[in-house]
Structure 1
Amino acid sequence: MPPRRIITGRSQEPRKRFVEELRLLRSRKGDSLRKLGEVLGWDWSLFGKMESGETLGGPEVVQALDQHYGTPGLLLTLWELAMADPTQFKERYRRYMILEAEAVSLWHYAVSVLPGLLQTKGYARAVLAAGGITGDELTQQVEARIGRRGLLEGDNAPPFRTILSEAVLRTPLEDAEAWREQLEHLLSMSERQRVMIQVLPFAAGPHALSNTDTMFLRGTDGRTVAWVETGYSGELVQETAAVERLQLRYDLARDLALSPAESRKFIMRMLEEASCDPST
């Protein structure tokens, strides 16, 4: 049987297909970018960046576009496929790493895993291995992640804040000694003047960042971008209005978190429990 022919003429690469569909739908409707911004309530430049492939936008804006164009679920499906494309994820992550290295301040929220900047070698190896990485690649990625910790060292280290969901500290490593080492490292880092660690307890209840790891990076130009990561993909958010919405959610979560002093006591209790565990 001969191979099936592609007759649509559309791109088969997820990100390009999403961009093509955005352009086609706006052209058919006859909207300008400014008109689209006025109707949907987002800055028109966001739609221009989405149509150029510079950003994918977020689920809220994509759902609004689906409703506007009368294509229920189409754009959101294409967006999800584009977000999950591993080649695009790597490209975006490289850009994020550059921004992280140049940031003058960083603040972060962790859903279930410690931020890479605070991970020990044993913790990083366990987390990366759980994701299916093995062999030489695992060794290389562990060393690369540990190398990033240098960002928080020295007199010129940028201020860094992280809010840890209690789930992060309730998920120990299988290697009890490696877990204790990681908790001790957290306590040590919390003593640094430019590092602030807070714990968001389960008792705080639901909140706006409950399923999204988020890192905010402020550059030397004063502009802030955000890196949003889920279990299967990551997205660099650069559009000002979208970053501000994420920042508001972060601020609300921070209001629910324990103070740095209370958070340190919480981590110390976790370390005491780990040290007293009869199974270790």
Structure 2
Amino acid sequence: MVSSLLRFVRPDEIQIALTVGSLEVAACLQPLVNTRLVTSRVFQPTEIDASSDPWRYLGSRIRAARSARDMSMQALATAVHVSKGFISQIEHAARHPEEQLVKAMDSVLKADGELNTAYRLAVRWTEDNEAGGNKYADYFDAVLELEVDAVRIDWFGGGLFPGLLQTPEYATEISRRPFRSTSEVQSLVDGRMERASILDGGAGPKLLVILDEAALRRPVGGPEVMAGQLLHTARLIREGRIVVQVLPFDAGAHPLLAGQLIIMRFADAPPVAYVEAPHAGQLIQDQSTLDDCALSYDLARAAALSPEASLERIESAAKEYST
């Protein structure tokens, strides 16, 4: 399979060095081992460095083609049968489009194949990075952009509480590590607390969590920190703001043992999944792999305790840490 290494000189010029590599297409998690009425949020135009990666470059070419034809984002969305919000996500590189959609946009915008070429280069660049085992340092950035638009988030947190549920004390403990300064830790914790604010009020996503029992039993930060984390989670459950199901140890093996899984659903755009392992993460948009992810999540949820029994276990664990 052809892969490529791209060096972007400026937004309208690309230098390409082609190499030969390989990419093994993997199912959900393997790379790393309802609808409700809402107001669609379109990404606000910000300064975007189109030279920073080829997906941003593709977005800049779409915007330029729209501008050249004096076509609004909504008009393009209507012409290619997707939502305005989805076009905005593509233009800002929060989502990667399928090839057929790019071909349709290229045709509607009369871009003479420019968008198709930019898309192929982006795909090859991504293949090269994945085949070489390289991931971006900001691999979670796309999730941060997307989760605020999601109408529903299905989250399997593995052996930790999901970031949206963490207390400042718990987040501080898991952020500490050798060679990381106190200010860096505090910055990470502040960012996590800001993210959690999407659960405030009634406009945020519906959050459904499968929590491995290991997260309840691992004494992160000691008894006081754990009791606070468990009671915070229980409070959110009792307030009806989240649904949590504990996956007990005696459930044995389950489909999500390999790592973390997040599935985000949107009112006006296709769903997306995110899988993560230490120091690496990957967004999944391919429909067949998304189906695999959804099935794995559903099977794990089927093996979990009921929400009522889960709340009882969480509060029981909190009492154990408090005594």
TM-score by shorter chain over 0.5: yes
Tell me the CA shift for residue 220 of structure 1: 2.6
Match of 1:149 among 166, 183, 196: 196
Tell me the CA shift for residue 79 of structure 1: 3.3
Q: Which amino acid aligns with 2:315?
A: M
Match of 2:303 among 247, 252, 256: 256
Tell me the CA shift for residue 136 of structure 1: 1.2
SS at match of 2:294: helix
Q: Kindly indicate whether the alpha-carbon contact (under 8 Å) linking 1:103 and 1:158 is maintained by their aligned counterparts in 2.
A: yes
The 1-side partners of 2:233 and 2:314 are apart by 8
Q: Which amino acid aligns with 2:213?
A: E
Tell me the CA shift for residue 152 of structure 1: 0.7
- The change in CA–CA distance for 1:93 and 1:212 in structure 2 (over 3 A counts) is same
1:57-68, aligned counterparts within 5 Å? none
Percent identity of the aligned residues?
29
- Aligned-pair Cα RMSD in Å: 3.2
Match of 2:186 in 1: 139
SS at match of 1:133: coil
The 2-side partners of 1:54 and 1:214 are apart by 25
The 1-side partners of 2:154 and 2:177 are apart by 26
Match of 1:79 in 2: 130
- 1:235-273, CA deviations, whole angstroms, 9 ceiling, x for partnerless residues? 111111111111111000000000000000111111111
The 1-side partners of 2:259 and 2:197 are apart by 25
- The change in CA–CA distance for 1:111 and 1:50 in structure 2 (over 3 A counts) is farther
Q: Which amino acid aligns with 1:53?
A: V
- The change in CA–CA distance for 1:190 and 1:52 in structure 2 (over 3 A counts) is same
In terms of fraction of residues, the more helix-rich structure is 1
- 1:1-47, CA deviations, whole angstroms, 9 ceiling, x for partnerless residues? xxxxxxxxx8499xxx9x953589xxxxxxxxxxxxxxxxxx987xx
The 1-side partners of 2:179 and 2:273 are apart by 26
Tell me the CA shift for residue 131 of structure 1: 7.3
Q: Which amino acid aligns with 1:121?
A: P
Tell me the CA shift for residue 227 of structure 1: 1.1
The 1-side partners of 2:169 and 2:226 are apart by 8
Match of 1:174 in 2: 221
The answer as to 2:250 corresponding to 1:203 is yes
1:82-231, aligned counterparts within 5 Å? 82=133, 84-85=134-135, 88-90=136-138, 92-130=139-177, 133-231=180-278
- The change in CA–CA distance for 1:111 and 1:23 in structure 2 (over 3 A counts) is closer
Q: Kindly indicate whether the alpha-carbon contact (under 8 Å) linking 1:55 and 1:236 is maintained by their aligned counterparts in 2.
A: no
- The change in CA–CA distance for 1:11 and 1:80 in structure 2 (over 3 A counts) is closer
Q: Kindly indicate whether the alpha-carbon contact (under 8 Å) linking 1:161 and 1:196 is maintained by their aligned counterparts in 2.
A: yes
Match of 1:67 in 2: none
User: Unaligned regions of 5+ residues in structure 2, if any?
Assistant: 8-15, 24-97, 101-115
Match of 2:20 in 1: 21
Q: Kindly indicate whether the alpha-carbon contact (under 8 Å) linking 2:227 and 2:319 is maintained by their aligned counterparts in 1.
A: no
SS at match of 1:102: coil
Q: Which amino acid aligns with 1:113?
A: L
